[in-house]
């Protein structure tokens, strides 16, 4: 997230001494694109490089189960509990993996994604995202953004359900909402005041056996460290985890139906994420609030139905995911187009992911898929 933040103790100048009594603190640079993009300097009590043991490498298996090119309705409300290295993977391509995850207990290990940025949407439950940068409490409707390389675990107050997006490229605020200096513009549907950043805790100076699972291109690699990873006394820079609530997204409305780009919330290189929130409907006297039938010729459309009354759909449960692949027309189901006329507002929460490359259907989707959904537009 491109704004400056400083927490705890940092020296006056980078790469200079800072002491704890007679002991020197250890500086670590965390940066993107080598040394050519955003970065943060962090300051440790102990060397952050003390690996005592390298465990096994667990391969990541993503197997395409596509047998027919069609629209899909994937029901995720009853998935089993998992962990950060054991998510229910549903859809994927070379740019991202879309999964769902249910956590009943706090994480027993530390996790670091070394190859992807993480986005979690909190469907239900509460707790704290505990990171080496500090803690962030979360609640339903929160988008949790964790850039790659951040060490974290979930501390659970009550069972949580998460929509997960793991992205090969950074997940950012959209360029169209920012000025040349990176500040969110006045007409942006959210601003920096809405963004929550971690508050650094007191450093943990513990020696022992600390397990960190790291996602790599080859799989999940287990490392054992000699000191606790949350030993930071301070950090400053532009690179850190952050949270934005879907409830702080201010909808953009018009006299006639507005296209999906007005709902855009995040961007990445080859996909966008949009938020559908409660809002007034179009106010032209002859407007049709329901979305018009359309063909997305250059993107696959994925919608996660979080909560409320989904005006253009029937037979869609909370926590369902629909996939409308590129090139196939889709739109309101029978009766929904006509019945929307005259309605004044919608009360819905949904997350949409539009990908600019076709998605593969992960094998775990098969048992969750409704095979009759592609025929649901027949009167």
pLDDT tens per residue across span 199-236: 999 999 999 999 999 999 999 999 999 999 999 999 99
What gap in Å lies between CA 146 and CA 162, rounded to an integer? 14
CATH of the domain spanning 251-375, picked from 3.10.290.10, 2.60.40.60, 1.10.220.10, 2.60.120.10: 2.60.120.10
Q: Which run of H or E residues covers position 30?
A: strand 26-31
The ranges of the chain annotated as CATH 2.60.120.10 are 50-64+81-231+238-245, 251-375
Q: What are the φ/ψ torsions at residue 336 (nearest 5 degrees)?
A: -75, -35
pLDDT tens for residues 34-57?
999 999 999 999 999 999 999 999
Q: Which fold has domain 50-64+81-231+238-245?
A: Jelly Rolls (2.60.120)
Question: Beta-carbon neighbour count of residue 261 at 10 Å?
Answer: 12
Q: What is the pLDDT of residue 28?
A: 97
Higher pLDDT, 216 or 314: 216
Structure-block tokens of residue 229 = 């990873």
**If you search the block for the tokens 């979690």, which residue do you land on?**
120
């Amino acid at each position: 997230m491109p704004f400056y933040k400083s927490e705890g103790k940092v020296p006056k100048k980078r790469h200079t001494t800072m002491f704890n009594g007679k002991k020197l603190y250890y500086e670590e640079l965390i940066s993107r694109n080598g040394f050519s993009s955003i970065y943060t300097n962090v300051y440790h009590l102990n060397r952050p490089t003390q690996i005592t043991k390298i465990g096994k490498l667990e391969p990541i298996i993503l197997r395409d189960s596509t047998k027919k090119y069609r629209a899909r309705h994937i029901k995720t409300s009853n998935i089993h509990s998992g962990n950060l290295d054991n998510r229910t993977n549903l859809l994927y391509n070379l740019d991202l993996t879309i999964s769902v995850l249910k956590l009943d207990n706090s994480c027993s290990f530390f996790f670091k994604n070394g190859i992807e940025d993480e986005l979690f949407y909190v469907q239900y439950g509460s707790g704290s995202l505990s990171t080496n940068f500090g803690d962030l409490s979360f609640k339903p409707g929160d988008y949790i953004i964790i850039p790659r390389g951040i060490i974290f675990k979930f501390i659970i107050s009550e069972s949580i359900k998460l929509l997960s997006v793991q992205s090969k490229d950074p997940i950012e605020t959209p360029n169209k909402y920012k000025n040349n200096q990176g500040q969110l513009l006045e007409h942006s549907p959210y601003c920096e005041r809405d963004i929550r950043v971690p508050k650094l805790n007191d450093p943990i100076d513990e020696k022992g056996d600390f397990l960190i699972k790291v996602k790599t291109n080859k799989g999940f690699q287990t490392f054992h460290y000699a000191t606790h990873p949350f030993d930071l006394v301070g950090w400053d820079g532009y690179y850190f985890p952050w949270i934005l609530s879907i409830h702080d997204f201010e909808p953009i409305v018009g006299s006639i139906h507005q296209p999906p780009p007005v709902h855009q919330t995040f961007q990445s290189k080859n996909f966008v994420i949009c938020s559908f929130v409660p809002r007034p409907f179009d106010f032209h006297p002859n407007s049709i609030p329901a979305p018009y039938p359309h063909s997305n010729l250059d993107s696959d459309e994925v919608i996660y139905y979080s909560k409320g009354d989904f005006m253009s759909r029937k037979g869609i449960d909370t926590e369902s995911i629909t996939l409308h692949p590129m090139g196939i027309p889709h739109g309101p189901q029978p009766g929904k187009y006509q019945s929307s006329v005259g309605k004044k507002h919608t009360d819905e929460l949904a997350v949409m992911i539009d990908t600019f490359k076709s998605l593969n259907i992960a094998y775990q989707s098969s048992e969750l898929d409704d095979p009759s959904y592609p025929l649901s537009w027949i009167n």
